[in-house]
Chains A and B, each alone.
Chain A
Amino acid sequence: MAESIYELTQVSKSFRTRMGTVNALDSVNVTIERGSLVSIQGPTGGGKSTLLQLLGGLDQPSTGSVIIDGAETSDMSEKSLAELRANKVGFIFQNFNLIPTLTAAENVETALVPLGVAPAERKSRVDAVLAEVGLSDRGHHLPSELSGGQQQRVAIARALVKKPTVILADEPTGNLDEQTRDDIIGLLEGLHRDQGLTVVIVTHDSVIAQRANVRLNIVAGRVSVA
């Protein structure tokens, strides 16, 4: 088992737009140990989300090497990337990104679909993970029937149910009030502390950053470690 979960070497990511080429990431070199709690901070447009996409296998670098849990992703096929995301990565979004027509339990279940888990096992795993985030009695509710904090808990359950290697969260508390924000942060911290998961959180909240063991700062595509 590789000691470092992430190894990024000379990673650059550029986007071609009508206004010209945008260098979202520029010669990034970062290594992250397994089980770390990582915070990513920086001004808007700095490249935080772009970095998270590379860490989650949602996209590939323009140049450089991104090694996730020992696997080089820069030359992976779309199929292998999907497999990697399905098996190892739990994503949490600022806008929760739940499927509006599916219930809480069904939303959690979507993460097990690509893994080919048998229906009976799916149900028990979904129930267990919903209990873990404190939503045992909300499984049959639609997202629209849940509060913002509850929706984000469903999203966390969806990320956890696959038993991921890493949890990646892009401003997970950006749309939540202060009280709820602390709950969610507490939940994510607990995953890192109690289950030893690698948790990467993009945040504007310096309180979260204080508790992280790796603090990355991105300005104009350049990463510095605090």
Chain B
Amino acid sequence: MLFTYLKRELSKRRKQTSVVAAGLAVAIGLVVTVSAASASVEKAQGTVLQSMYGIGTDISISKPGTPGFGGPDRFEIGSDDGNSADGSRNFSRTRFDIAGFAQALTAEDLATVAATPGVGGYTSTLKLNSITFNGELPDFIINQQNQGTQSQMPSGPGSQPNVSSTNQPAPAPSGGFDGRGGAAFDVTTFTVEGIDPSESAIGPMSTVEVSDGRLLTTADAGTYKAVLDSSYATTNKKSVGGTIKIDGVKFEIVGIALSTATGSSTSSNVYIPLDVAQKLSDHDGEVSNVYVQATSADAVTDLDKALTKALPDATVNSASELASSVSGTLTSASSLIQSLGKWLSTAVLIAAFLIAALLTASGVNRRTREFGTLKAIGWRSGRIVRQVMAESIVTSIIGGVLGIGVGLAGIAAVNHFAPTLTASVGGLAGMGDAGGPPGMPGGGQGPGRPVFGNTFDVALNATLSPLVLFTALALSLLGGLIAGMYGGWRASRLSPAESLRSVA
């Protein structure tokens, strides 16, 4: 009887049923869309961190330097450097050193890491920047520079040199790329990471796959072999079998690496054996980054503390601290979803629950005589409450199923319309290379701004997870329960004497 009655009520009172179900469907659809989008953004953040720090990394160690300490980034050009022709000289200078403002971690530091209890494993890399400056300068600048104290490079390509020095009358500007004393130069940068060729479980190699050729192996130690990031290789038209010059030394390209995370590049442009990188950059036995794996997930917090204490000059970051260093539109999207999306879907959900409860109660009011009559012929209150609850729950489950449909449409819309997001990992000394290197032309904002492999393009890929599906159905059930309980409570309070009321 309950089922027949329920079926009849829902189909005969289709308008009420569909209004309640549609309200819940919209609300649940919104919740599904927002949760799926939020999950995909979270996944994307995880992906970015993985690309940057590798899968198994619990803690990352680096050593910050002092930004703006001009020394290591200075190019020095003497009067007899380069080829002089027509009053100008052409230059090519390469600086090849640790990326960003970071300092080297010594062999001693590594020994400290290895000896710290809770370390399950670690790998270290030497992240280097190759910055090559190609330029044409007029002779007179160089001559003046050599007479006075050495000054910084003019800032920005093509700018007029502004040299205030000496009490000698300055000769009329001549030479340079425009013959009037102008200077022209460009800057090429790329990142080179010296890696332990035998380590693939932790560190940068844990999140790459081979797209062509092979990765570095133990046998490559000490040899001039290189693996290139796929997008870097594409941009620079490099392929397996070719060569790449790093700090003037030719390396054989043995493989092209692709990030296992879709839509993301790997952490550096070029990977070479660690020992070769150390030799080439005069950092024998030294590294810039250490990737540490804790013995267990529970040990991470303690290990973080122990390492921070053991290496007071170094920056020790756990994965969760690293997560907070991700910035860019991905982070904006994440906070938008976290705040507005969750707020909006909660509000709509509450509204839908209220509407469902009120409509159910008004349905009960309209059926006052009906329920009174059933009580008059002997139906107990409990049976009538059950009837109202069952109707409400079935209605809301219909709403929930429709809501999943709405959610799927919402997810498709998010995937279709959402722009590709970017994420930058930076803000932690030595871990990222957010700004340009100091003392470089265009180092801050200019057209020559170097962009290293720490900005990632991330495509959102929202999917309907079983958890979201379960949540949607649970929410619809909850809505049905709330509405049914309210309506049922109203019905239970009706008196059987209502059946005799002569309201036609």
Contacts and interface: CB of A to CB of B under 8 A. Distances in A.
A81 B380 CA distance: 9
Interface string B355-374: 00000000000000110011
Given A49-B500, A53-B500, A58-B496, A97 B373 contact: yes
B8 interface: yes
Interface string B193-210: 000000000000000000
Given A110-B379, A111-B377, A99 B370 contact: yes
Contacts of A106: 1, 4-5, 8
A59 B495 contact: yes
B497 A111 contact: no
A80 to B, nearest CB: 11
A101 B13 contact: yes
Nearest to B1: A113
Contact of A58 (B8, B374, B500): B500
Nearest to B498: A58
Given A91-B376, A114-B379, A58 B9 contact: no
Contacts of A100: 12, 370
A58 B495 contact: yes
Interface string A65-96: 00000000000001100110111010101110
A99 B373 contact: yes
A127 interface: no
A192 interface: no
A158 interface: yes
B396 interface: no
Contacts of A49: 500
A159 B377 CA distance: 8
Given A85-B496, A110-B377, A97 B369 contact: yes
Given A58-B495, A58-B500, A114-B383, A93 B373 contact: yes
A49, A109, A114 interface centre (most CB from chain B within 10 Å)? A114
A52 interface: yes
A172 interface: no
A170 B500 contact: yes
B167 interface: no
A159 to B, nearest CB: 8
B377 A52 contact: no
A56 interface: yes
Contacts of B8: 101-102, 106
B504 interface: yes
Contacts of A56: 376
Interface residues of B, number: 26
Chain A interface size band reads: 20 to 34
A95 B4 CA distance: 24
B1, B4, B8, B500 interface centre (most CB from chain A within 10 Å)? B500
B380 A52 contact: no
Interface string A50-64: 001100101100000
Contacts of A52: 500
Contacts of B369: 95, 97
Contacts of A58: 375-376, 495-497, 499-500
B148 interface: no
B381 interface: yes
Interface in A153-200: 158-159, 162, 170
Interface in B485-502: 495-497, 499-500, 502
B411 to A, nearest CB: 37
B312 interface: no
Given A102-B8, A170-B500, A113 B379 contact: yes
A111 B378 CA distance: 7
Interface in B3-31: 4-5, 8-9, 12-13
Contacts of A86: 377-379
B390 to A, nearest CB: 14
B1 A110 contact: yes
B370 A95 contact: no
Given A99-B370, A100-B12, A102-B4, A93 B499 contact: yes
B103 to A, nearest CB: 81
B375 A91 contact: no
Contact of A85 (B12, B376, B383, B504): B376
A82 B5 contact: no
Nearest to A90: B377
Contacts of B383: 113-114
A60 B377 CA distance: 16
Contact of A87 (B375, B378, B379): B378
Contacts of A85: 375-378, 496
B380 A95 contact: no
Interface in A195-211: none
B502 A82 contact: no
Interface string A134-168: 00000000000000000000000011001000000
Nearest to B378: A86
A89 B500 CA distance: 14
A6 B379 CA distance: 23
Cβ-closest 4 pairs across A and B: A86-B378, A101-B8, A97-B373, A101-B12
21 contacts: A53-B500, A58-B495, A58-B497, A58-B500, A78-B381, A83-B378, A85-B376, A85-B377, A86-B379, A93-B500, A95-B369, A95-B504, A97-B369, A97-B370, A97-B373, A100-B12, A101-B12, A110-B379, A113-B1, A113-B383, A114-B380
Given A53-B500, A93-B499, 17 more contacts: A56-B376, A58-B375, A82-B378, A86-B378, A86-B379, A87-B378, A91-B499, A93-B500, A97-B376, A99-B373, A100-B370, A101-B5, A109-B1, A110-B377, A110-B379, A114-B379, A162-B378
